[in-house]
Amino acid sequence: MLKDKILVADDEQSMREFLDIMLKKEGYKISLASNGEEVIKLIEKDIFDLILMDIRMPRLDGISTLKKIKAISPETIVVMITAYASADTAIKAMKEGAYDYITKPFKVEEIKLIIKNALEKKNLKKENILLKQVVRDRYHFENILGQSSKMLDLYKLLEKVAPTKTNILITGESGTGKELVAKAIHYNSPRKDKPFVTLNCGAIPETLIESELFGHMKGAFTDAIATKKGLFEIADEGTIFLDEISELPLMMQVKLLRVLQDREFKRVGGTEDIRVDVRIISATNKDLEEAVREKRFREDLFYRLNVIQIKLPPLREKKEDIPLLAMHFFKKYSGELNKNILTISPEAVRILLNYDYPGNVRELQNIIERAVALESSQELTVQNLSSYLNEQLPMKKGAIGLEIPNEGIDLEKIVEDLEKTLLLKALDKTKGIKKRAAELLHINFRSMRYRLEKYGLNQEGDSEPS
C-alpha cells in the first residue's frame, strides 16, 4: 500500500526535524525542504499528497511558493504554518488555494488532526467519484444475465477467479460484455473497495499512452503543464482494465511487460521508481495468438496477460438467453421512457429468436430500446421489431448476390434466410394478417402456415379460408 506523501518545508532545522520524526511515527512518507526553491524542485520530481509549509521562508516566500505549487500540482493539499498570526495572511493563503493554516506555537495533536482531516477529505472525494462510477455501471450489469449452460459455466469460472490476484484475458466479439465481466470480477474480489480504472488502448494516440498509463512530470513534454499521476498509480491496490489490448503499440508492449515483471515504473520525465500493487484484466475481440504469430504482439507479454482466459460466447450461441435479456431490457426502457407497455407479444419474441445478432447483447439492447420508443400500444408488437431486423437480414447484405466467394457458400442457409426475410416482410406489410401475406407471396394459405411453423414464426389467428 502506498503511504500518503507529505513534504515539510520550514527554514528552521529544528522544526523540520521535529515534524519529520512526529509525522513518520504517524505512518506518513516524509520529504524535507528548507526553502521555497527546494519545494518547487521536489514537486517537479514527485507528487505529494500534502505539503506542510512555513509562510515565511528565504529565497521564495510561502505565498509565492503556494501559487507555484497549485500551478504544478493542483491536487496537492497545502497547509501553511505561520508565527505571525493575522487575518490578512490567512485570507491571502486561503485565496491562493491553501487548505488551512496553523499558528506557531502549535499543539502536536492539533497538527495531527488537521493533516488527518485534510487527507481523509481528499481520499473521500476520490472514493465518492469511484462510488458514483460504480453505481452508474451497476445499471449495465444486466448485460451478463443469462441462464444458458454457457452462461452458467461462465458464472462458475468468475466465482473461481474473482478472489485471486491472477491476471486475466477476456476474449469475445464486440458487444458481448467484456468490460462488464471485468467489473464483475473486480467488484467480487478483495479489491472491490479500491479503484477500477479503464484504458481503451485503441482510443488513445500512441504518443499519449505512456503518459496515460504511467503519468508524467511537469515539463516532460510540450503539453505537460502540470505533474500528473498515471492510471497504474491511481489503480494502486485495485484493478486496471486494458481494453482492446491488441491495439497497444509494440514499444508500449515492452514497457507494460516490464511493469508486469517488476511491479514498478517511472513517470514520463521522472526519475523515481514507483512501486504498485495492481491486478491487470485485459480484453480483445481479436485473435491475439495470431497476432503473436505475425509478430504484431509480443509472445512474452501474451503469456503474462493470458494466465486465465475467459471466452465470452456470442449471443447467437446462447439463444435461450434472448427472452430473458429481451424482457429485462423491455422493463428497463419501458420505465425510462415512461411507456405503458405491459408485455412483449409471442410473435415479437419468435422474431427476436430468429435473428443472429452480429452486434451481440449490445445490439439486442438497442433493438428493444428502439422498439419501446416507437410502440404506441400496451404490447410490444412485431411491427416495431421487423422494420429494423428486415434491414439487417442477409437480403440487404447481398446474400443473394450472383458472386460466389472462393470459400463457397451455404446454399441452404441462404435460401432459408431469404425465405424467412420475405415472410417477415410480407407479414410486416399486412400488419400480421397471414392470408393477405400469402397473397402477396403468391402462395396458398396452407403453404404460408407451413413455412411460418417451419421457422417458428406462427401465431394464433387467421384460420384457413373456405
The whole-number pLDDT of residue 396 equals: 40
* Mean pLDDT, the chain, integer: 85
Q: What is the mean pLDDT of residues 311-320?
A: 92
User: Is beta strand 100-103 parallel, antiparallel or unpaired with respect to 168-171?
Assistant: unpaired
Bridge partners of 310? 170
- Residue holding cell 410473435? 347
* Gyration radius from the chain CA atoms: 31
> Angle, nearest 10°, between helix axes 149-161 and 178-187?
40
pLDDT at 172 over 70: yes
- For residue 268, what is the DSSP state? B
The answer to whether residues 65 and 39 touch, using CB atoms and an 8 Å cutoff, is: yes
- For residue 427, what is the DSSP state? H
Q: What angle do CA 370, 376, 381 make, to 5 degrees?
A: 65
Neighbours of 83 (CB within 10 A): 12
Query: Would you say how long the chain is, in residues?
Result: 466
The whole-number pLDDT of residue 393 equals: 52
Most confident of 124-138, 196-210, 275-289, 375-389: 275-289
The answer to whether residues 434 and 462 touch, using CB atoms and an 8 Å cutoff, is: yes
- Residue holding cell 489490448? 245
Neighbours of 175 (CB within 10 A): 21
The answer to whether residues 326 and 349 touch, using CB atoms and an 8 Å cutoff, is: yes
Neighbours of 463 (CB within 10 A): 10
The answer to whether residues 379 and 341 touch, using CB atoms and an 8 Å cutoff, is: yes
> Strands (DSSP E) along 83-223, which ranges?
100-103, 168-171, 196-200, 215-216
The C-alpha atoms of residue 158 and residue 139 are separated, in whole angstroms, by: 19
pLDDT at 238 over 70: yes
The answer to whether residues 87 and 57 touch, using CB atoms and an 8 Å cutoff, is: no
The whole-number pLDDT of residue 405 equals: 61
The answer to whether residues 146 and 318 touch, using CB atoms and an 8 Å cutoff, is: yes
Q: How confident is the model at residue 394 (pLDDT cuts 50, 70, 90)?
A: very low
The answer to whether residues 279 and 161 touch, using CB atoms and an 8 Å cutoff, is: no
Of the candidates 6, 194, 1, the residue with the CA atom closest to the CA atom of residue 118: 6
Q: How confident is the model at residue 17 (pLDDT cuts 50, 70, 90)?
A: very high
Neighbours of 310 (CB within 10 A): 19
Bridge partners of 78? 51
The answer to whether residues 119 and 77 touch, using CB atoms and an 8 Å cutoff, is: yes
Q: How confident is the model at residue 460 (pLDDT cuts 50, 70, 90)?
A: low
pLDDT, tens digit, for every residue of 67-108?
999 889 888 999 988 876 565 776 788 888 898 888 888 888
What backbone phi and psi angles, to 5 degrees, belong to 400? -105, 20
Query: Would residue 276 be called left, alpha or beta, if left means φ above 0 and alpha means ψ between -120 and 50 degrees?
Result: beta
The whole-number pLDDT of residue 302 equals: 96
Coil/strand/helix, residue 308? strand
Q: How confident is the model at residue 126 (pLDDT cuts 50, 70, 90)?
A: low
The answer to whether residues 281 and 185 touch, using CB atoms and an 8 Å cutoff, is: yes
Domains of the chain and CATH, by start:
5-130 (3.40.50.2300), 150-313 (3.40.50.300), 317-401+408-454 (1.10.8.60)
Q: Which of 68-72, 82-86, 193-197, 371-375 has the lowest mean pLDDT?
A: 82-86
Q: How confident is the model at residue 173 (pLDDT cuts 50, 70, 90)?
A: very high
The C-alpha atoms of residue 69 and residue 80 are separated, in whole angstroms, by: 12
Coil/strand/helix, residue 408? coil
Q: What angle do CA 99, 104, 109 make, to 5 degrees?
A: 70
The whole-number pLDDT of residue 392 equals: 59
Q: How confident is the model at residue 32 (pLDDT cuts 50, 70, 90)?
A: very high
- For residue 163, what is the DSSP state? T
pLDDT, tens digit, for every residue of 147-160?
888 888 888 898 89
The whole-number pLDDT of residue 459 equals: 58
pLDDT, tens digit, for every residue of 285-310?
999 999 999 999 999 999 999 999 99
The C-alpha atoms of residue 13 and residue 34 are separated, in whole angstroms, by: 8
Q: How confident is the model at residue 139 (pLDDT cuts 50, 70, 90)?
A: very low
